Amino acid sequence: MSLKDRITEDMKSAMRAKEADRLSTIRLLLAAIKQKEVDERIVLDDAAVIAVVDKLLKQRKDSIEQFTQAGRTDLADKESAEVVVLQAYLPARLGEAEIAAEVAAIVAELGAAGPGDMGKVMGAVKQRLAGKADMGLVSAAVKQALAK
């Protein structure tokens, strides 16, 4: 079963169970997936669906930060609940040590040295670790590896 099919089945089960908050988050995700498919005139595979989930998670985390700064804990709590639902559709994430090891291997493969090669390294890392790691942590690991 593809990830998109799993999300659709989860939406149906949320409807049956009358879980309004979970249902609205899943519908939001399906709408984002459908929008990307229509915009690019393609059918998304699992990797592309994971990229959409990642994008939505990043938006939610930014919103939580903004709402917390503004003192709107009610909205921050709603966004936090959406984060929990969205994270269920991501594969297990790599830890910082695993990310650092992958980045070091890629840097060695490419023969990259210095901050000038950051773009080249990030391109290769994104292909290999897409959906498996938080890109914020990956970027920090690349910067650290190239600073040596």
Q: What is the pTM of this model?
A: 0.78
Tell me, what's the pLDDT at 127? 82
CATH number at residue 115: 1.10.10.410
Nearest-angstrom CA–CA distance, 64 and 44: 28
- 130 has a pLDDT exceeding 80: no
CATH assignment of the domain containing 29: 1.10.1510.10
Question: Do 105 and 83 share a structural domain?
Answer: no
> Over the stretch 101-129, which tens digit does the pLDDT of each residue have?
888 888 888 877 777 778 888 888 888 88
Range of the domain at 134: 96-147
Q: How many domains does the chain have?
A: 2
- Is 45:39 a contact under the CB 8 Å cutoff? no
Q: In terms of domains, do 83 and 111 share one?
A: no
One domain, residues 82 and 122: no
